[in-house]
A and B are shown apart, each in its own frame.
Chain A
């Protein structure tokens, strides 16, 4: 099932909508968000190790990149934040 998610990337000026399958990993969602905002935010080369500098959060909770969207508890129209690892 396709899950529409509101994504906010640290350093960006706007939230974007991304679609993720419920069995997609959080690492995949991170890549989608980086690609979706790359025109405005330099998050490093997509598909590279630069992704490790970023972490996905739901509220204050950091979500492990190997979990799936479903396992992370994400449902339609939830908000997620992509922030630099360790950022407050």
Chain B
């Protein structure tokens, strides 16, 4: 090659992105210890054929990301003013706040997971694309923190974009329990399968593609632009998962199946809250398209089951439970959370006649089970003055799953699925059979974690709701969740004050 010739991409890229050594001074097991690199521990030859389809160079990465940043900042300049956001539907904004608190700082922990893979993953190409993944995840943290910070001055609930994971809010405890294990501490193999193959290929597609479509429907161009920009990164680094899974299947099929079953279930529960609430309850009914269930069937179930079949894996053993959960879980937990809305940082919408008709149409086999609960909550508002949120609010301490840390709302109103596990005189309660199964498989990992109830019983958290909110959860009246319309709905006619009777 002459000095004035530029090396062709295909000549240098394979060496640059897939660089591995034959060790002479240390053992391979010492350079990549099983405790950090993950199991099954296999010699380098087993990983030699590892490949992902993007083959991005660092120069391409930087150029493409720079272009994305330029586009996104243009959207922010044009549409990111507080007045633009204030014009949006309050229910939709509640969904944005739910997304903004739960995902951006979780993405930061995913940067740590990717960095661990950038050092300890077993193949050079895997380590290269994990490095880009870490940069991606930093971007996915910084973009929402930047864009939504401007809104804090007009709406303090947006402060929870940053505050959430630093609080003892019960949703934060649940999200940390999942993400600390999956993103922060998992070895590169479990991280690749749990995060890239299950979480990102399945569920973040649902959140980012589905929610950006809804953002377009409600005219939230800023949120739409943010999600679209992030999703293009996710699509690239999610490709790490499948080739890792293929190697693990070839050497330890049972472990591969366990990781799939475990992380699909844990991801499902979280996304049923984050995405399910937004799509089926917080999105203005006139702008809704497919239901959460329809989105899941299209974006998660079809693709996920097809991938498992291609790989020769079984669908998770709990699939019939998952199918019932798809019909019920987010309805169970939304109604529960509506009645405990002061315990979170975003507002809720009371489904009225139009919303309930839509839900009946989309969930013909299950939504009728929830109508009596919504009738009861509506009656509560009919007997209360607008804005008096705590008159239509739970006062008892809710109960929490010892695995997922979410409230015990799995099953149906007729039969809650919670189940108690007893070992050596100690008891734990699990929201569902899959949570129980995961808990018992790794009981040493999970049994010492204190859910909210155990914190209350140990005297670490107050048992009184007001003190729990203000002293422990980091919430104050101006911020905690309320009815998005203060209970003043055009369809909700109130009795005259003199005619109101105290409810039983």
Contacts and interface: CB of A to CB of B under 8 A. Distances in A.
Q: Do A and B bind each other?
A: yes
A15 B370 CA distance: 15
Contacts of B504: 38, 42, 44-46, 48, 50
Interface in B77-110: none
Interface stretch (B126-134, B232-240, B253-261, B409-417): B409-417
A46 to B, nearest CB: 6
Contacts of A13: 331-333, 335-336, 370, 373, 409, 413
B321 interface: no
A22 to B, nearest CB: 16
Contacts, number: 103
Interface stretch (B147-155, B216-224, B264-272, B395-403): B395-403
A41 B370 CA distance: 10
B427 A14 contact: no
Interface in A40-74: 40-42, 44-46, 48, 50
Interface residues of A, number: 29
A15 B394 contact: no
B399 A6 contact: yes
Given A4-B453, A46-B504, A15 B380 contact: no
B308 interface: no
A17 B339 contact: no
A41 B395 contact: no
B274 interface: no
Contact of A15 (B395, B399, B414): B399
Contacts of A39: 339, 376-377, 380, 392-395
Given A42-B372, A76-B427, A17 B398 contact: yes
Contact of B335 (A6, A40, A48, A78): A40
A56 B503 CA distance: 23
Contact of B394 (A40, A46, A76): A40
A6 to B, nearest CB: 5
A55 to B, nearest CB: 15
B418 interface: yes
Nearest to B332: A13
Interface in B377-394: 377, 380, 392-394
Interface string B324-339: 0000000111011001
A51 B340 CA distance: 25
B51 interface: no
A17 B418 CA distance: 13
B407 interface: yes
A18 B395 CA distance: 11
Nearest to A75: B427
Contacts of B339: 14, 39-40
B48 interface: no
B408 interface: yes
Nearest to A10: B414
B453 A11 contact: no
Contacts of A8: 408, 416, 418
Contact of A6 (B393, B394, B408): B408
A19 to B, nearest CB: 8
B309 interface: no
A81 B407 CA distance: 16
Contact of B373 (A6, A41, A78): A41
Given A39-B339, A77-B429, A79-B418, A14 B380 contact: no
Given A13-B335, A41-B373, A77 B398 contact: no
B211 to A, nearest CB: 24
B377 to A, nearest CB: 7
A88 to B, nearest CB: 9
Interface string A12-38: 111111100000000000000000111
A77 B335 CA distance: 24
Given A39-B339, A77-B427, A78-B420, A14 B376 contact: no
Interface in B394-452: 394-399, 407-409, 413-414, 416, 418-420, 427, 429
A14 B503 contact: no
Nearest to A2: B457
Contacts of A78: 420, 427
Contacts of B395: 36, 39
Contacts of A18: 396
Contacts of A17: 396-399, 453, 456
A40 B427 CA distance: 28
Contacts of A40: 335-336, 339, 373, 376-377, 394
8 contacts: A13-B332, A14-B407, A15-B407, A16-B397, A36-B394, A38-B503, A38-B504, A79-B420
Interface of A: 4, 6, 8, 10-18, 36-42, 44-46, 48, 50, 76-79, 81
Given A14-B409, A17-B453, A77-B429, 15 more contacts: A4-B457, A12-B373, A13-B335, A14-B398, A14-B416, A15-B398, A15-B409, A16-B398, A17-B396, A40-B335, A40-B339, A40-B377, A42-B376, A76-B427, A79-B418
